[in-house]
């Protein structure tokens, strides 16, 4: 009878360990997703600042070359 109870304890231990692994993996994936979302938000903020960089340069080129060249963003 003890062989069966030992087997059942081992089975229960394996399922408990598996549940723990699944929860850890889900937590890691959730954290990765949140970090990715944070990086994406930072990227969008940086992209919004780019027109402030290229617009003055483009306007300077337009003033310098006037009708000699057509410049469009």
Q: What is the DSSP string of the chain?
A: -HHHHHHHHHHHHHHHHHHHHHHHHHHHHHHHHHHHHHHHHHHHHHHHHHHHHHHHHHHHHHHHHGGGS----
Q: What is the mean pLDDT of residues 42-61?
A: 92
Please determine, for residue 47, whether its predicted confidence score (pLDDT) is greater than 60. Answer: yes
The CA–CA distances, whole Å, from 36 to 5, 16, 30, 41, 43 equal 46, 30, 10, 9, 10
**The pLDDT of residue 45:** 96
pTM: 0.59
Q: Which pLDDT value is given to residue 73?
A: 62
pLDDT at residue 34 is higher than 90: yes
Residue 3 has pLDDT above 90, yes or no: no
pLDDT of amino acid 67: 77
């Amino acid at each position: 009878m003890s062989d069966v109870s030992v087997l059942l304890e081992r089975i229960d231990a394996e399922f408990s360990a598996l549940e723990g692994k699944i929860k850890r993996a889900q937590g890691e994936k959730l954290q990765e997703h949140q970090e990715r979302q944070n990086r994406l938000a930072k990227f969008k903020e940086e992209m919004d600042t780019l027109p402030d960089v290229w617009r003055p340069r483009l306007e300077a080129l337009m003033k310098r070359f006037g009708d000699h060249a057509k410049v469009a963003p």
